């Protein structure tokens, strides 16, 4: 309803309330009479296609294996349990072209798992194998099968060879064909039948209710449940375990879906571990029968717990006590013997060249190596008793506390140390393996890493969430409560740091040799609190109780020099003039390492953070002289470098501290990288081969001072020539630009650099001189080109001194410059660096950002991830392309029911947190409208607040009957404003004022609520994002580089209201324009509108004019507090075009409301959108970086026990050789 034009603005103010008005609970907005359209029977997902589309055109095509007819596919769904068993072994979401055969016997299933072979290759075919390579193996497998007499798989192929072409998938794509179309592999009717069967079996369960918590993982069909729970296995062992079973454990179809939503209640583990153990035989009998020969469940669990390393044969009828093996062996083939005794090798302290040693000494070292390995020759056990023992030992010995005292803080620390023990053994072996392979490594330099809490991510990636949950439960603790004790590391601010953390997770998961480098901030950025609606910054004491996830490396230290002077001397060997940086102040960089585990792999990478320490801890002379403060002055000055993230730079001291911070970070990092490379110098290899073994990525402009620092190290420390050093430098560095905003393209005054880093200023001048010579050669006489492209910016009216353009330096000193979204890369090439793009064709490229589904779906949204796993199996976590197969079920009533129940559970979870922490009771039967991100004018949180005021005005001026027709809405905002950013702080203050008025106005009860959540961080994002219905990404077009929040929201079943900016454009292309509510001026239109704003005098929208009058009249607080914000909305001053976009913005919100009113249609939209987001997984992003920028290859590490499974032992009474064929196939 439109507001009454005659309504007085002051009359809209809320009536006085004697008590706090609570929102009324209203009915759900289900649209009556709507039902999804059933799939047409003549619309088969399988159809003819060009044979060139698939490398294996004669392979039968079906999600469920070698099926000769459509009828066979439907028949397979008659028994839901059999249907799901076939689905899990049939090849959902496999690589390019075709699916693997579903063998009818257990032996053939040993060689078929989701369309991939585990017998060779890198062991990761189940996730990321190249499609053509996999297709070749399948073709060879088919050929071998056709020649084998009596082979069941061969019989299947032969019997259906006449129908093979009928199952060739149809390849379709929105705009380009990537060769992968899992949706064409789905028999929609068959899967729909299974879902309907599940719905029929669960018909007695009331809509919206969750199943009763399960007490067993073995409840297949109608069998009684076991009173105990066996913890699930690690993800990589789960695959092998399931392979040995000839399927994915003992679950039936409806049991899978039933358990999916139990994840939300915390009764089960993450979705990946749903099929931890197969507790059933071939006929459904228990795999652990209670008999004298076999221990019962409780005895087995107490004695052995879960043995995730154990490989069992497919048709064993029972587990014997003798079956329990030891854990996988630690590797000893890749031990660096030079680390065992530094006196025997190379230079003091572990030099680079290995010297000859006597045979006796070499033998002695080999013996010591063997003994040291035997002392810890296997990985730690992951069964429940072993985990419990480690917990108690850490409480008593590591923390020196009493084990009987029920203290969640102590048990959090003990649990963290226990998990870290298991990370460290993988971490150590992985690094030794990388060193032995001499693989090229990537070093990712980022000034911030917003890692979030580590425990949940670690136990999930290790596949031990269930084991730890059970171990703690038996000791009287809850894993979720224990994880909540963790203080989130304050190592980042926003999207830049979170992106870096997603990349580290993916690098480990994809087995790329990589390290992340950053700073260990003592206080982080700040803790945001709201006092009377105003942001107040407090130190973030995240290290008060220590950080159990890090390892302090007191043996890894580097000296970093600041200030001082430069001297010259003649090299006695070459007679060349050399430079030496001397004097000044020396700071010590101390390393702190954090293991970063991959998901479904043993590979564990490293994040190394530097902490600043003084070279002289204490000045005793000053202290004895009575100068007590002077005695510790140097210490405090040095430690301040890593005290706070992004110190305020609105004064000279703040600027100097920021520059110190950046140089300290890159200097320590480059010294460490060079040391590691020189340690591996082999005969014939010199520093000239450095770029072949090292790739360094600069995450934004902050680390760009690393270019002159690497030049200094190569010139002054390694004595290379300028040409050699510059070639190494440019081939090593890659630069990622994240924004075109001026404040992010740092500039440093030349006098400041000359004082703080005198040698580097000399090198920058020389780089600029040589570069401008190249510019002059390409564009002779073009002074403007020289001016625009120069690294040194000359004084002007706006600035009185020369400045160093750090972004220009990064472009000149890198071999690749990339943007992070298609539109952003285009703007970088056409607006920011057009001359550089012309000078270096092909140097600029695009790599669109992505986020890790491990953190943002599997961990953040267990309800939804459980649904994915129940349908697709666990492989989707590491291959998000498999979600495409869910597209055909967007309109399926049963699937929609599960989907909406999961969303409701997430809303209730968020509502409970808000009630407990903010004392606000919010509706859950309403649209959850989210905008959570760093507060900035270009992100236009102000426009969102103005729309809320408009909605409030409409509600307040409407009759009671009209108000009932307005869609209920809960608006959630969150984000921090930089301490010196007054405008952003005013936006927060206005938002809090609006929230206070709206939430206490009885006219808004049941219609509108507003919540501003303070101190937004990763943990809160994991709570907020899964609950969203719509999320707002409404930056002024052309100003947001990419954004990653938009990706997370859509992955979690929300839709976007947004502008054509950043990754929104690409998301719209993938999910469909109809599933995104876009509005506003485009990037090209924005430039024209800004250029004409002073002359065209645009009129203000009447709705916006009324909102401004209400704010100026004091309805939401002192009008002086928001006067500056309102002044900026004047047409001639509206730089961010809020006034121009406001009408279309309100229209987009109205379209979202209308779409949400049709609940089934809305569910279909969100399912289609979420299942189309594979392109925004960080897995895809890292692959592109590896191929286009770094030139690195995966190096998957497997312990010897996993690389070659041991031969199976004979069972008592079993004929020798009876299983030979199965063992050979395995």
In this structure, what token pair is assigned to residue 553? 């490396």
3-state secondary structure of 1177: strand
Active site residue 738: yes
For 1043-1129, list the strands marked E by DSSP: 1055-1059, 1076-1079
* Separation CA 180–CA 171 (nearest Å): 8
Identify the DSSP state of 926.
S
Catalytic position from the list 280, 453, 712, 934: 934
Q: Report whether 418 contacts 391 (CB < 8 A).
A: yes
| Percent of residues in the chain assigned helix, strand, coil, to nearest 5 | 50, 10, 40
Catalytic position from the list 301, 608, 939, 1201: 939
Catalytic position from the list 608, 738, 808, 855: 738
Name the pairing type of β-strands 577-582 and 565-570: antiparallel
Q: How many CB atoms lie within 10 A of CB 1030?
A: 26
Would you list the DSSP string of 309-362? Answer: T----TT-S---GGG--PPPBPP-TT--GGGT-GGGSSSTTT-SSPPP--HHHH
Closest to 561 (Cα-Cα) out of 521, 588, 591, 590: 588
Catalytic position from the list 259, 440, 933, 1219: 933
Closest to 759 (Cα-Cα) out of 571, 583, 611, 616: 583
Identify the DSSP state of 857.
I
φ, ψ of residue 459 to 5 degrees: the values are -70, -30
Separate counts of helices (H) and strands (E) for the chain: 46, 22
* Separation CA 1004–CA 994 (nearest Å): 12
Q: Which residue has the tokens 């469920």?
A: 64
Residue 1009, C-beta contacts closer than 8 angstroms, at least 6 positions apart = 23, 920, 922, 923, 926, 969, 970, 971, 998, 999
Active site residue 933: yes
3-state secondary structure of 233: coil
- Count Cβ neighbours within 10 Å for each residue of 581-595 and write b for 16 or more, e otherwise: beeebbbbbbbbbbb
Active site residue 1044: yes
Name the pairing type of β-strands 441-445 and 694-699: parallel
Would you list the DSSP string of 563-587? Answer: S-EEEEEE-TTT--EEEEEESSEEE
- Give me the residues paired with residue 597 across strands: 604
* Separation CA 496–CA 502 (nearest Å): 10
Active site residue 134: no
Q: Report whether 318 contacts 287 (CB < 8 A).
A: yes
Q: Report whether 98 contacts 171 (CB < 8 A).
A: no
Active site residue 903: no
3-state secondary structure of 939: helix
Helix or strand run (H / E) with residue 698: strand 694-699
- Give me the residues paired with residue 606 across strands: 515, 595
Catalytic position from the list 229, 701, 825, 1044: 1044
Closest to 615 (Cα-Cα) out of 654, 562, 660: 562
* Separation CA 1077–CA 1058 (nearest Å): 6
Burial of 1208 (C-beta count, 10 Å sphere; 0-12/13-18/19+): middle
* Separation CA 642–CA 350 (nearest Å): 29
Q: How many CB atoms lie within 10 A of CB 1098?
A: 14
* Separation CA 57–CA 167 (nearest Å): 9
Catalytic position from the list 1048, 1160, 1168, 1219: 1048
Residue 599, C-beta contacts closer than 8 angstroms, at least 6 positions apart = 235, 460, 461, 505, 508, 509, 854, 877, 878
* Separation CA 77–CA 191 (nearest Å): 7
Cα distances (Å, whole numbers) of residue 70 to 189, 848, 1059? 10, 40, 45
Active site residue 238: no
Active site residues: 738, 933-934, 939, 1044, 1048
């Amino acid at each position: 309803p439109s507001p009454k034009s005659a309504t007085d603005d002051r009359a809209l103010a809320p009536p006085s309330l004697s008590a706090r008005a609570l929102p009324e609970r209203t009915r759900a907005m289900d649209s009556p009479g709507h039902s999804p359209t059933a799939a047409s029977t003549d619309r088969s997902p399988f159809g003819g296609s060009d044979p060139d589309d698939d490398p294996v055109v004669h392979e039968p095509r079906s999600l469920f294996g070698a099926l000769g007819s459509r009828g066979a596919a439907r028949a397979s769904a008659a028994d839901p349990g059999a249907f799901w068993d076939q689905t899990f072994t049939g090849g959902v979401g496999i690589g390019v072209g075709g699916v693997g055969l579903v063998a009818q016997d257990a032996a053939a299933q040993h060689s078929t798992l989701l369309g991939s072979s585990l017998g060779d290759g890198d062991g990761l075919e189940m996730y990321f194998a190249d499609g053509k390579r996999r297709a070749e193996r399948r073709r060879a497998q088919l050929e071998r099968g056709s020649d084998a007499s009596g082979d069941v798989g061969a019989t299947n192929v032969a019997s259906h060879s006449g129908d093979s072409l009928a199952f060739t998938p149809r390849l379709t794509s929105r705009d380009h064909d990537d060769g992968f179309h899992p949706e064409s592999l789905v028999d929609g009717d068959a899967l729909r039948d299974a879902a309907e069967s599940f719905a029929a079996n669960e018909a007695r369960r009331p809509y919206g209710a969750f199943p009763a918590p399960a007490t067993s993982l073995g409840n297949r069909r109608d069998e009684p449940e076991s009173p105990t729970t066996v913890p699930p296995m690690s993800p990589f062992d789960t695959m092998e375990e399931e392979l040995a079973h000839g399927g994915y454990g003992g679950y039936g179809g409806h049991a899978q879906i039933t358990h999916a939503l139990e994840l939300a209640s915390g009764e089960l583990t993450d979705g990946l571990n749903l099929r931890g153990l197969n507790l059933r035989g071939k006929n459904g009998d228990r795999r652990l029968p209670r008999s004298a020969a076999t221990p019962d469940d409780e005895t087995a669990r107490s004695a052995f717990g879960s043995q995730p390393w154990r490989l069992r044969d497919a048709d064993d009828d029972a587990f014997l006590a003798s079956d329990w093996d030891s854990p996988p062996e630690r590797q000893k083939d890749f031990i660096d013997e030079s680390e065992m005794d530094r006196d025997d090798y190379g230079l003091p302290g572990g030099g680079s060249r290995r010297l000859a040693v006597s045979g006796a000494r070499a033998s002695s070292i080999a013996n010591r190596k063997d003994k040291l390995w035997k002392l810890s020759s296997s990985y730690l056990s992951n069964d429940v008793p072993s985990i419990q023992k480690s917990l108690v030992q850490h409480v008593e010995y590591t923390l020196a506390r009493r084990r009987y005292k029920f203290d969640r803080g102590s048990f959090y620390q003990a649990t963290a140390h226990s998990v870290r023990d298991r990370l460290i053994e993988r971490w150590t072996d992985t690094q030794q393996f990388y060193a032995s392979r001499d693989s090229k490594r990537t070093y990712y330099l980022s000034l911030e890493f917003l890692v979030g809490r580590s425990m949940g991510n670690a136990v999930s990636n290790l596949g031990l969430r269930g084991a730890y949950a059970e171990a703690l439960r038996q000791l009287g603790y809850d894993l979720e409560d224990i994880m909540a004790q963790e203080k989130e590391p304050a190592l980042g601010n926003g999207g830049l740091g979170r992106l870096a953390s997603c990349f580290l997770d993916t690098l480990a998961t994809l087995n790329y040799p990589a390290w992340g480098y950053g700073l260990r901030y003592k206080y982080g950025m700040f803790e945001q609190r709201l006092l009377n609606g105003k942001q107040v910054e407090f130190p973030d004491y995240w290290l008060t109780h220590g950080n159990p996830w890090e390892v302090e490396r007191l043996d890894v230290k580097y000296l970093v020099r600041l200030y001082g002077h430069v001297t010259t001397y003649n090299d006695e060997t070459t007679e060349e003039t050399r430079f030496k940086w001397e004097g000044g102040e020396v700071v010590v960089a101390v390393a702190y390492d954090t293991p970063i585990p991959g998901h479904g792999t043993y590979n564990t990478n490293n994040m190394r953070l530097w902490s600043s320490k003084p070279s002289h801890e204490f000045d005793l002379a000053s202290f004895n002289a009575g100068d007590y403060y002077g005695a510790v002055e140097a210490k405090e000055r040095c430690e301040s470098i890593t005290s706070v993230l992004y110190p305020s730079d609105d004064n000279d001291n703040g600027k100097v501290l920021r520059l110190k911070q950046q140089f300290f970070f890159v200097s320590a990092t480059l010294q460490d990288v060079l040391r590691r490379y020189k340690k591996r110098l082999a005969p014939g290899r010199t520093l000239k081969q450095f770029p072949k073994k090292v790739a360094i990525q600069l995450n934004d402009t902050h680390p760009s001072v690393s270019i002159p620092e690497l030049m200094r190290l190569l010139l002054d420390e390694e004595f290379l020539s300028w040409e050699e050093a510059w070639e190494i430098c440019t081939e090593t560095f890659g630069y990622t630009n994240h924004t075109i905003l001026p404040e992010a393209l740092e500039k440093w005054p030349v006098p400041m650099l000359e004082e703080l880093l005198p040698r580097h200023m000399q090198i920058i001048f020389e780089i600029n001189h040589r570069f401008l010579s190249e510019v002059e050669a390409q564009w002779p006489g073009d002074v403007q080109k020289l001016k625009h492209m120069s690294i040194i910016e000359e004084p002007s009216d706006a600035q009185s001194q020369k400045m160093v353009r750090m972004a220009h330096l990064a472009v000149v000193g890198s071999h690749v410059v990339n943007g992070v979204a298609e539109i952003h890369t285009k703007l970088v090439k056409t607006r920011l660096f057009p001359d550089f793009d012309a000078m270096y064709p092909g140097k600029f490229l695009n790599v669109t950002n992505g986020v890790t589904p491990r953190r943002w779906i599997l961990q953040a949204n267990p309800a939804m991830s459980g649904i994915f796993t129940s349908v697709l199996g666990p492989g989707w976590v590491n291959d998000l392309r498999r979600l495409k197969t869910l597209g055909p079920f967007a309109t399926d009533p049963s699937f929609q029911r599960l989907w909406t129940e999961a969303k409701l559970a997430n809303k209730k979870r968020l509502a409970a947190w808000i009630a407990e922490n903010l004392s606000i009771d919010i509706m859950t039967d309403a649209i959850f409208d989210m905008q959570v991100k760093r507060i900035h004018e270009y992100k236009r949180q102000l426009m969102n607040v103005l729309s809320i005021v408009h909605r409030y005005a409409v509600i307040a001026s409407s009759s009671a009957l009209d108000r009932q027709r307005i869609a209920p809405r809960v608006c959630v905002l969150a984000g921090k404003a930089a301490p010196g950013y007054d405008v952003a702080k005013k936006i927060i203050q206005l938002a809090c004022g609006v929230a206070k008025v709206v939430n206490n106005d009885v006219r808004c009860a049941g219609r509108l609520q507003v919540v501003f959540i303070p101190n937004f961080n990763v943990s809160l994002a994991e709570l907020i994002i899964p609950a969203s219905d719509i999320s707002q990404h409404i930056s002024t077009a052309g100003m947001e580089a990419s954004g990653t929040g938009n990706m997370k929201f859509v992955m979690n079943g929300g839709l976007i209201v947004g502008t054509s900016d950043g990754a929104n454009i690409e998301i719209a292309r993938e999910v469909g324009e109809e599933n995104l509510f876009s509005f506003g001026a485009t990037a090209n239109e924005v430039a024209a509108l800004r250029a004409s704003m002073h002359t065209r005098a645009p009129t203000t929208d009447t709705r916006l004019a009324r909102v401004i009058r209400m704010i100026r009249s004091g309805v939401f607080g002192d009008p002086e507090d928001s006067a500056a914000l309102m002044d900026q909305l004047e047409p001639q001053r509206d730089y961010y075009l809020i006034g121009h976009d406001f009408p279309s913005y309100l229209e987009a919100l109205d379209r979202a409301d209308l779409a949400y009113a049709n609940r089934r249609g809305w569910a279909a939209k969100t399912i289609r959108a979420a299942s189309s987001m594979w392109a925004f997984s960080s897995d895809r992003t890292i692959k592109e970086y590896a191929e286009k920028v770094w030139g690195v290859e995966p190096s998957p590490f497997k312990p010897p026990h996993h690389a070659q499974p041991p031969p199976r032992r004979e069972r008592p009474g079993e004929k020798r050789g009876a299983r030979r064929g199965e063992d050979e196939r395995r």
